[in-house]
């Protein structure tokens, strides 16, 4: 089981795209030269998902060409969102317990004041709590505190499982969104196109 990334974003419909507050990734399982491309694609997919689900919703999305991985996403009612990208073996209940903790601790941290109006990506980059959380949750058994999980079960039972196509708006296509993205380099777009042809995007080397 492997967690690739955890991110915190805000999306309150006052910006064209979700704003990344902070994110942390562990891409050591990929080749050195692949990592920047994988990083860009993960960031882009996270924003696509967050933008298209309603506040208060929990959703697990299988992204096209990332068959081995799922993006677990929770958007709270106030517009703060967290995503966790992991392989399919990673327990959904643990993923959402992690996301709950991340959002709670982010809001409680005095250093995060003003996030509600922040429009700069990575304005709170380097938040140490996120790095600690990524390290801790790599082993679900150590994170899966039975009492806490039981307490959280009621809030995670309504998790929706979707594919990326299911959450796109009418007429939208993932290929078009990728090609129009300003955050993806030409290399990342080419990587995505090639992966789509070979159906092996993000296969661990």
Long-range contacts of 196-199 (CB under 8 A, 24+ apart): 196/64, 196/65, 199/65, 199/67
List the chain pLDDT tens, one digit each, 205 residues.
799 999 999 999 899 999 999 999 999 988 888 889 888 888 988 998 899 888 888 889 886 655 688 999 999 999 999 999 999 889 888 899 899 999 999 999 999 999 999 999 998 988 999 999 999 888 887 766 643 555 555 555 455 566 666 666 666 777 777 777 777 777 777 776 776 666 544 443 3
- 97-120: b (≥16 Cβ within 10 Å) or e: bbbbbbbebbeeeeebeebeebee
User: May I ask the CATH architecture of the domain 3-198?
Assistant: 2-Layer Sandwich (3.30)
Task: Note the Cα 31 to chain centre separation in Å.
Answer: 21
Helix axes 35-51, 186-198, angle to 10 degrees: 80
- For 178, phi then psi, to 5°, come to -65, -45
Query: Could you tell me if 74 and 103 are in contact, meaning their C-beta atoms sit under 8 angstroms apart?
Result: yes
């Amino acid at each position: 089981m492997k967690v690739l990334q955890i991110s915190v974003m805000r999306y309150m419909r006052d910006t064209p795209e979700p704003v990344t507050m902070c994110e942390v990734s562990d891409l050591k399982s990929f080749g050195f030269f692949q990592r920047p491309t994988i990083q860009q694609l993960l960031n882009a997919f996270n924003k696509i998902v967050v933008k298209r689900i309603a506040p208060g919703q929990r959703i697990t999305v299988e992204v096209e060409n990332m068959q081995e991985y799922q993006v677990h996403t929770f958007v709270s009612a106030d517009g703060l969102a967290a995503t966790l990208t992991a392989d399919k073996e990673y327990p959904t209940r643990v993923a959402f317990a992690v996301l709950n903790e991340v959002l709670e601790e982010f809001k409680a941290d005095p250093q995060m004041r003003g996030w509600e109006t922040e429009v700069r990506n990575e304005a709170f980059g380097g938040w140490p709590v996120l790095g600690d959380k990524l390290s801790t949750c790599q082993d679900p058994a150590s994170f899966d505190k039975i009492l806490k999980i039981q307490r959280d079960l009621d809030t995670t039972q309504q998790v929706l499982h979707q594919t990326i196509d299911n959450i796109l708006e009418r007429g939208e296509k993932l290929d078009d969104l990728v090609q129009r993205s300003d955050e993806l380099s030409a290399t990342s777009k080419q990587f995505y196109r090639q992966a789509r042809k070979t159906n092996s995007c993000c296969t661990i080397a």
